[in-house]
Copies of this chain bind each other. A is one copy, B any other.
């Protein structure tokens, strides 16, 4: 294997001839279209950091040459990755790796909106870290994060205010391994989306998330921080965020005040 080539070259850049099967000797349990294979290869490059969030990836023509397929096939692969919000196409400029560090999509995962006006109209949230410490994962946290009980995790609690009004109280758990070196100070001093910090400093890009919503009553500490009575019903949002390759990388438990805001969802 004379792989004198630089790191970018994969062991075999050619499509694994499943598209034009000359002789499909035995069983063919898995048929994967060419464009899906290309999609996987691009995904690999994203995972391995060959192209970083915010950067341009090679043109469709270049990718087609690299993978030895037609431009149309690359196009279909890129189309799907763009539909999944992993890539962003910009006509005339190129295709870019999606990032959380853009004004337009700052709070891409936050569905809470003010009852009157828009999320923009109320201005940026004021973030205050109440607490941040290193601890060992409880059985439940470990299960949700795909760890083992007792594994080290970072835990943070922060309060978000909109127009000065405390509105969201969040508890966040992160596996200590991938976020080695993350400190409370770094977190509290960073201005901008937390997920952008994760991208820039730790190469961890949150790609999708699952949320479970419930209506709950706050405990005393929570009510105090949110400046509401303990009898005020709050929206509990448990979020698990996943990176490329669907590994859980963050657990977030939020309490949302819904007297002035609401959680918006579109069904289709």
- Binding-face segment, A12-20, A59-67, A257-265: A257-265
Would A268 and B215 be within 8 Å (CB), given that A231-B231, A234-B233 are in contact? no
A212 touches B (CB below 8 Å)? yes
Distance of A65 Cα from B209 Cα, bound (Å): 43
Instruction: Name the residue on B nearest A267 (C-beta).
Output: B209
Distance of A149 Cα from B254 Cα, bound (Å): 38
Q: Which residues of B contact A214 (CB under 8 A)?
A: 235, 258, 262-263
A102 touches B (CB below 8 Å)? no
CB within 8 Å of B: which of A90-110?
108-109
A50 touches B (CB below 8 Å)? no
Q: State how many copies of this chain the complex holds.
A: 2
Q: Which residues of B contact A258 (CB under 8 A)?
A: 213-216
Distance of A215 Cα from B235 Cα, bound (Å): 5
B266 touches A213 (CB 8 A): no
A84 touches B (CB below 8 Å)? yes
CB within 8 Å of B: which of A214-268?
214-217, 231, 233-236, 239, 256, 258, 262-268
19 contacting pairs across A/B (C-beta < 8 A): A83-B83, A85-B268, A108-B267, A109-B267, A111-B267, A207-B268, A210-B265, A210-B267, A211-B265, A211-B267, A213-B262, A213-B263, A214-B235, A214-B258, A215-B256, A217-B231, A217-B233, A233-B234, A235-B235
